[in-house]
Amino acid sequence: MIRWIMAGMLLSSSLTPAWADDEFSALKSEFENMLVAQEIPGAAMALVGPEGAIGKLCFGYADLEAAQKVTGETAFTLGSTSKMLIGVSMMQAAARGELQIDQKIADYVNFNIGAPNGENMTFADLAQHRAGINDRESFYYSTNTYHQDEDHPMPLDVYLADYLSPNGTQFDAAANFVQPGQYHYSNIGSSLAAYAVSQATKMPYDQLTEERVFNPLGMKNTHWHLGDFKDGELARPYYDAPLAGFNPNRPYSLASWPDGGLRSSISDFSAFLGMMINEGSFNGETILDAEHFQQLYAGLNVGDEKGYGLFLEKFRLKGPLPERTTFWGHTGGDPGAVTFAIYNRDWKRGVVLLLNGEPEEDMVNEFFAASFYLFGLEDTLKTASNCD
């Protein structure tokens, strides 16, 4: 998974819509032009409050070949934005006494971890990307991890043991690890955290999130596996073939699915972000008590310090907003997918952006910045949403 905004990186934008009498129409027109220029078939974005989506905008096509338009229920590939679920499920387990975040994960996994701190690695180490696990590119960005047209046949624990255990066929003590204690972003480390949570709770991670997050929040079109979706429910990812043996524009899955394999709609993920804004509750359902929710911020709760909480990033972004505006959330990128879900704690507002194509790298931040204009259009969005 690609995180498009690294810790502390500032978002700049040259986007200057020609604001006229109708600012909303100007934003829609400008965004549609960006999609066409970048050859992105479809998108959805929403302004979100504690109640979920305040307003949603849908653009273009989920599937060009089938002439299937994007709706509020179209499920997009989320990429690394999926990692927010790991932090929430970890703290849910902590609240139930099933684990402690400073607990060693070696107590839960069924294989030895050959990292320099493998015996002492904790849930918090993994959640803050300080465990010293490195995603070896030749392994991770290959068909070892990615699989087209169906769910990956390799079980998660086998995938992880193959890479992390000294007995694994993909183990490489020099290439698979870095010095622990310093921030080093890791997808494989993230999936290891999700697997350890599942072992601690004695529930498969997909079942765990379904029962403790998706169902209580009413997220009906959010799933981890391709096989869980019906025809017409998914946005096809549009991309050039990035891996040997891959065909372009085909659905794919991951062996390390907890780190980026979630698919969700703008309606569903707005509910999730609404829960985050409301610190653990949504629509009368409390899925995480306030005390444990606060631990997601992991020491970054005050001041201007930027960095990584428990699978939750704190950063400042430039765009059509005050320069020192602080956000929490996550970004994601994968073949044919770019996503963005962030919120401001003081405003109690956030935005979600989902694309089923890949902008040029220097344009990704332009799309993120475009979504910030939603903050100034709340009243209009309440009546002008077009995703139904």
- Which CATH number covers residue 356? 3.40.710.10
Which strand (E) or helix (H) includes residue 268?
helix 266-277
Model confidence at 15, in pLDDT bands (50, 70, 90)?
Answer: very low
Percent of the chain clearing pLDDT 90 (strictly above): 79
Residue 287 lies in a domain: yes
The predicted-structure confidence for 356-382, as pLDDT tens digits, reads as follows: 999 998 899 899 989 999 998 998 998
pLDDT score of 33 = 96
Q: What is the DSSP string of 277-342?
A: HTTSEETTEESS-HHHHHGGGTT-SSTT--EE-SS-EEEE--SSS-TT-EEEEEEEEETTEEEEEE
User: Residue 212 carries which DSSP code?
Assistant: I
Model confidence at 16, in pLDDT bands (50, 70, 90)?
Answer: very low
The predicted-structure confidence for 45-63, as pLDDT tens digits, reads as follows: 999 999 999 999 999 999 9
Give the mean model confidence (pLDDT) for residues 231-248. Answer: 93
pLDDT score of 298 = 80
Residue 142 lies in a domain: no
Residue 86 lies in a domain: yes
In the chain, how many domains are there?
1
3-state secondary structure of 102: coil
| Model confidence at 150: pLDDT above 80 | yes
pLDDT score of 142 = 95
pLDDT score of 318 = 65
User: Cα–Cα distances in Å, from 307 out to 5, 128, 298, 341, 347?
Assistant: 11, 9, 10, 16, 20
The mean of the pLDDT values for the chain is 91
Residue 123 lies in a domain: no
Exposed e or buried b per residue across 74-89, where buried means at least 16 C-beta atoms within 10 angstroms of its C-beta:
bbbbbbbbbbbbbbbb
Give the mean model confidence (pLDDT) for residues 23-38. Answer: 93
Residue 108 lies in a domain: no
pLDDT score of 224 = 98
Model confidence at 12, in pLDDT bands (50, 70, 90)?
Answer: very low
pLDDT score of 4 = 45
User: Residue 177 carries which DSSP code?
Assistant: B
Give the mean model confidence (pLDDT) for residues 125-142. Answer: 96
Model confidence at 1, in pLDDT bands (50, 70, 90)?
Answer: low
Cα 162 to Cα 157: distance, rounded to the nearest angstrom:
8
Q: What are residue 381's phi and psi, to 5 degrees?
A: -65, -30
CB 366 within 8 A of CB 34: yes
The predicted-structure confidence for 154-180, as pLDDT tens digits, reads as follows: 999 999 999 999 999 999 999 999 999
Mutual orientation of helices 187-201 and 156-164 as an angle, nearest 10°?
Answer: 120
pTM (predicted TM-score): 0.94
Q: In sequence order, what are the residues at sequence separation of 6 or more whose Cβ sits closer than 8 angstroms to the Cβ of residue 137? A: none
Residue 369 lies in a domain: yes
Model confidence at 6, in pLDDT bands (50, 70, 90)?
Answer: very low
Cα 100 to Cα 90: distance, rounded to the nearest angstrom:
9
Residue 337 lies in a domain: yes
pLDDT score of 18 = 42
Residue 229 lies in a domain: yes
Give the mean model confidence (pLDDT) for residues 83-92. Answer: 98
386: its two tokens: 């077009």
Domain that holds residue 369: 23-98+204-246+258-384
pLDDT score of 11 = 43
